[in-house]
Amino acid sequence: DTDNEAAVDASYGYPYTGLEVHLTLWRPFLRFFIGGGLLFPVSGSEELSGNGWGTTARAGFEATLFQQLHAGIGYEMWQFKSLEAIENEITDTFQSFFLRIGWSYH
């Protein structure tokens, strides 16, 4: 919450298409991945109007430990563009770093 008039309540809806590539660096223990996508059309919440578009990108490393334990670290970015809010064009960028841990059953 803020008293700044430029701040709006934003939520987005979108379908997207993307491509992700995984490269094995040390079989079967270490993989690198990179990917990206296009979000189209992006529609906003009640304070946003019109349709825009967006992009997404992510990259990171995944490791297999003890044959069934998997861990990964990476970076992800989502960017929304060309939505309108009260006479202004809106762009939003969300960035995150992540750590994932999982277990697979064989």
Task: Give 35-73 pLDDT, tens digit per residue.
Answer: 999 988 777 766 666 677 889 999 999 999 888 899 999
With a pLDDT cut of 70, the percent of the chain lying above it is 78
Q: Which residue has the higher pLDDT, 81 or 7?
A: 81
* CA 11 – CA 47 distance, rounded (Å): 9
* CA 64 – CA 4 distance, rounded (Å): 47
Contact 53, 38 (CB under 8 A): yes
Contact 63, 29 (CB under 8 A): yes
The model scores a pTM over 0.75:
no
* CA 90 – CA 73 distance, rounded (Å): 30
Tabulate helix, strand, coil % of the chain (nearest 5): 0, 75, 25
